[in-house]
Amino acid sequence: MTIDEAQRMVDDWIHTYGVRYFSELTNMAVLTEEVGELARVMARRFGDQSFKKGENPDALPEELADVLWVLICIANQTGVNLTEALKRSFEKKTRRDANRHLDNEKLRPHGDKPEND
């Protein structure tokens, strides 16, 4: 599915099952909550913490999808076309960071030199 399709599908779901969107501020709080749940899974799966009894170690896809869902809700209710916004973000990052990361020695394996050297 495309981003545009996802935005339409979420909107259809909200109007069919959700009655209406929560307020923008409520959805911002819900997004923060969902990011926290994602952070908990990441800390346990990739960090130093271990899973507690009853926690699902395979919850990463679900938590990522929950974050995306609420982000799409916020975009829909504020009139943001995420496809267009993402295209503009790529353009901005490309202009700003065209060589920034390529020139960052911290990102290269030790001893490697940039190809243009």
Distance (Å, whole) CA 77 – CA 111: 50
> Mean pLDDT of all residues in the chain?
94
In this prediction the pTM is: 0.86
Tens digit of pLDDT for each residue in 51-81? 999 999 999 999 999 999 999 999 999 999 9
- Domain ranges in the chain? 3-107
pLDDT band of 47, cuts 50, 70, 90: very high
Dig out the tokens for 95 from the structure. Answer: 């202009």
pLDDT value of residue 108 = 84
Number of helical H runs and strand E runs in the chain: 4, 0
CATH of domain 3-107: 1.10.287.1080
Which residue in 65, 11, 58, 78 sits closest to 34, CA to CA? 65
pLDDT value of residue 17 = 98
